[in-house]
Amino acid sequence: MLIFEELTNDIIGAAIEVHKELGPGLLESAYQACMCHELYLRKIPFRQEIDLPVKYKGIHLDCGYRIDMLVEEKVVVEFKAVTEMIPIYDAQILTYMKLSHCKVGLLINFHVPVLKDGIKRKVL
């Protein structure tokens, strides 16, 4: 059984609904705003644009990291709207997961014809 399988399925379902309505080609910020609304409609708790400091030798440093969305304080969600997924995006979400102490993350690229081809599930 997958960690937080039901929750990640709910998030993916919301993303598919957004993608069905909007299709590819918009800015990441538009998809993120619509995802917030869709999760709200589904009564799924989330926070967005969360500052993520780096802890270094006992102090927290603001290094400019920001999580796009944290769902139920359990799943990090990163949104993309790009023509090509590159390895740095995988590294980015893994870093956010480590810094936030979350075991599960979803990397969702809305710039694809079929959304299931734009979703990656990551587990630490």
Domain extent, residue 115, equals 5-123
pLDDT number for residue 60: 84
**Amino acid of residue 5:** E
Residue 2 has pLDDT above 80, yes or no: no
Residue 1 has pLDDT above 80, yes or no: no
Q: State both tokens at 38.
A: 């869709």
The pLDDT tens digits for 85-110 are 999 999 999 999 999 999 999 999 99
| Total number of domains in the chain | 1
How far apart, in Å, are the Cα atoms of 6 and each of 10, 21, 67?
6, 23, 21
Contact in structure between 22 and 34 (CB atoms under 8 Å) = yes
Contact in structure between 18 and 118 (CB atoms under 8 Å) = no
The pLDDT tens digits for 26-78 are 999 999 999 999 999 999 999 999 998 888 898 888 888 899 999 999 999 99
pLDDT number for residue 73: 95
